[in-house]
A = this chain, B = another copy of it.
Amino acid sequence: MPRFFLTAPPEDGIARLTGEDARHITRSLRMKPDEEIVLCDARGADYTARILSVGEEVVAKILSARPTVSEPKAEITLYQATPKGDKAEWIIQKSVELGVTRIVPMLTERCIARPTAEAAAKKRVRYRRIAREAAGQSGRGIIPEIGSQCSFGEALAASAGTLRLFCYEKGGVPMRREMLSGAREISLFIGSEGGFSDAEANAAKEAGCRIITLGQRILRCETAPLAALSVLQFLLEQD
């Protein structure tokens, strides 16, 4: 069943969708009154609702509510060194499917793509739309945030106090369930095409990051976050 995020809580059992979601329901999906959709309040509740009317505004009657069960046990912030081309867009889409809580574009020494603050702000708008769509499609209970572009140093500072996992192609330890035990906030650092510099790796060590490896093969910068998130979710979902 199509799933959308509410922008305002239902009133008297009636939910209203406007903008892109209304257009999507009315024009793309061509849904009609009496068809059902799922609405998520992004605060832990999913609603099944019956469409009453479509158009610029879609009005739906709430039929039932239940808790959203798809949120991971820990908040995961992905600090992703900006990759070339449009890789960032699908890193965002896939990371949202794989349970990320927040994605923060990060500029590291070896980033080839170095968008200006202005360009980064424009991309952020697009990235937020991608995150919202992916969250709806993958049944997330929240819309993951897209942070504003920061430097590696700013990322290290911002992640202080969380469990910091620094993925380093020059070696580290594999992730372990014990490593995550009790962690409620996890920060995942992933490099760009050129990986991290030695200086960055040393700074990460000194800051107390765990230096981890994602296995014996060399992963592209767009594959590494998906592999890391897949394993993190697997470990977090174990009893």
Interface size on A, residues (CB 8 A): 27
Copies of this chain: 2
Which one of A12-20, A91-99, A124-132, A203-211 contacts B? A91-99
A238 to B138 alpha-carbon distance, docked (Å)? 29
Query: Please, what's the 1-or-0 string for A70-96, where 1 marks a CB less than 8 Å from any CB in chain B?
Result: 100000000000000000000000100
Taking a contact as CB atoms under 8 Å apart, the answer to whether B138 and A215 are in contact is: no
What chain B residues lie within 8 Å of A216 (beta carbons)? 69-70, 139, 237
A-B contact pairs, 21 of them (CB 8 A): A69-B216, A94-B220, A94-B226, A97-B218, A97-B220, A98-B217, A98-B227, A137-B218, A137-B220, A138-B218, A138-B219, A174-B234, A175-B234, A215-B233, A215-B237, A216-B237, A223-B226, A226-B227, A227-B233, A230-B230, A231-B231
